[in-house]
Structure 1
Amino acid sequence: MSDPKEVSRGVNLTLRYLTFLVGIFIMSIGIALSVYALIGTTPISAIPLVMSYATPFSLGVYTVGINIVLLIFQILLLRRRFELIQLLQIPAAFAFGSFCDLSVWLLRGLDGVAADSYLIQLGLSLAASVVLGIGVWLQVTPRVLTLAGDGAAVALEIVTRRPFSTVKIMVDSTLVVIAVILSLLFFGELLGVREGTVIAAVLVGYVVRLLHRHVKWPAVLSRPGVHGS
């Protein structure tokens, strides 16, 4: 006969991973909205978007690639302190990349909508940041896994002993600078990195904090004693 506590713990863990997957799917919708806004995407998607403009490969393919690179960075940085469970960032990266391509396809009707109106571009960019913030909140609150971008920041936090918020800014800034350089090299102008990138950098964190403060679920899933967790 099954132990009720083990069953409850299994249900809890399943709910947490499902919440994580829903979170990264919603994140991908936010990223797709920022793509069609035409005024810059999020820091983690900046390099993939620039490279997708410059080559035949998709945003999702490069999203997987940048996440794998950031995972390798974590392994090199942490060495023996790297937790093997974080290798689950690999399937998470493939899921996230696939969701990004799917969301870009699902929202393809927005292609060209913002081309002649800065107000529409700004509106889509703001909407993208809000949606992305909701996705990030759903991704991080179950506390089962992180995408490689946040994982890299956690690794730097461990090694440098600096606050997570500080090293997160360092990671994001580095990704944006690389994207800017690539954009200038390939196109001689800024594509994929503009004021929308700054909007995302500021607004996403605000949305996440607001939701953490006022919405108890799904954070309650990861609290000790809840459903046997």
Structure 2
Amino acid sequence: MTLTTERKEKAILFLWQHLLLLISLYLMTLGVVLCVKSSLGSSVISSLPFVFSLAGLISRVPEWTIGGYTIAMNFILVFCQILILRCNFDFMQLFQLVIGFVFGWLIDINMALTAGLECTTWSSQIFAQFAGCTIMGIGIAFEVRCGSVTMPGEGISITVSQVTKRPFAKVKIWVDTTLVLLAVAGCYLFFGSWQWNVIGIGTLFAMIYVGLVVKFIAPHLGWFDRLLTYRPGFRRYLFGLARLLYRRGEVKE
């Protein structure tokens, strides 16, 4: 294999893996949006942006979308990592900014796609929350397997874990709890009361159930690992199929 061919193979593999990462992020954000639509409580990662987006509607803060505030929060989390690690910060981790931006952008896309979805009954709310958490868990399991740069929320947890020498699992709980507490504080600051549609029973359910979904699905993702490798034979098959369809189109003309 020549050097040029090897570079092409690596470039194709990189693009393919990040296409799968994009699909994973889409599933995660679809789950986030369904939890928001349920009005039983948003997921942890969206609770603080959700509060600020609602506060924007009453002119307490800039009127950004939930996706816009998610992007801002992700950028702040990356900045915190830089402040904590300083010279030890790996600049490859700046790719988290891209991941964080795409994540927020996909949230807004899914909010637009589900604009007509209204959960007006308990059964529809419970179904939306359950479906959202399940889809989110599947997306997270895929995202982890992609092996790219982590989400800023996980990145800050890894950073604090490295500095404090505490187990990642415990630090992740601390970070999630901090985000929820900040969202609660935002509720009282902007609205003077607890907002159950932002932080409710659904939020607690998401904190427990999403992790269980990831643990359940993870052992069954061998097919996804094989898909990630994107073997040349599979690529040749796709190219051959594309040529065949193109030739048939020429014959019809």
Q: Same fold (TM over 0.5)?
A: yes
The alpha carbon displacement at 1:181 in A equals 1.0
Q: Which residue does 1:119 correspond to in 2?
A: 123
Q: Contact 2:66–2:108 at 8 Å: present in 1 too?
A: yes
TM-score by length of 1: 0.90
Q: Contact 1:43–1:175 at 8 Å: present in 2 too?
A: yes
Code of the aligned partner of 1:13? F
CA deviations on 1:75-127 (whole Å, 9 max, x unpaired) are: 111112211011111122211111000001101111xx323x22221111111
- Aligned residues with identical type, % of pairs: 32
Q: Which residue does 2:116 correspond to in 1?
A: 109
Aligned mate of 1:201, from 202, 207, 210: 207
**Per the alignment, in what secondary structure is the counterpart of residue 70 of structure 2?**
helix
1:84 matches 2:85: no
Code of the aligned partner of 1:59? I
C-alpha distance in 1, partners of 2:111/2:43?
Answer: 15
Q: Contact 1:28–1:132 at 8 Å: present in 2 too?
A: yes
Q: Which residue does 1:18 correspond to in 2?
A: 19
C-alpha distance in 1, partners of 2:33/2:164?
Answer: 34
Tell me which structure has the larger Cα radius of gyration.
2
Code of the aligned partner of 1:127? A
The alpha carbon displacement at 1:51 in A equals 0.7
Unaligned runs of 5+ in 1: none
1:175 matches 2:179: yes
The alpha carbon displacement at 1:220 in A equals 4.9
Unaligned runs of 5+ in 2: 57-62, 233-253
C-alpha distance in 2, partners of 1:81/1:210?
Answer: 35
CA deviations on 1:207-228 (whole Å, 9 max, x unpaired) are: 11122111214345778xx88x
C-alpha distance in 1, partners of 2:98/2:224?
Answer: 22
Q: Which residue does 1:94 correspond to in 2?
A: 101
C-alpha distance in 2, partners of 1:165/1:219?
Answer: 24
TM-score by length of 2: 0.82
Number of aligned residues: 222
C-alpha distance in 2, partners of 1:122/1:184?
Answer: 26
1:71 matches 2:78: yes
Q: Contact 2:137–2:214 at 8 Å: present in 1 too?
A: yes
Shift of the 97–189 alpha-carbon distance from structure 1 to 2, 3 Å rule, reads same
| Higher-RCO chain (CA-CA 8 Å, sequence separation at least 6) | 1
1:9 matches 2:10: yes
Q: Contact 1:142–1:221 at 8 Å: present in 2 too?
A: no
Q: Which residue does 1:40 correspond to in 2?
A: 41
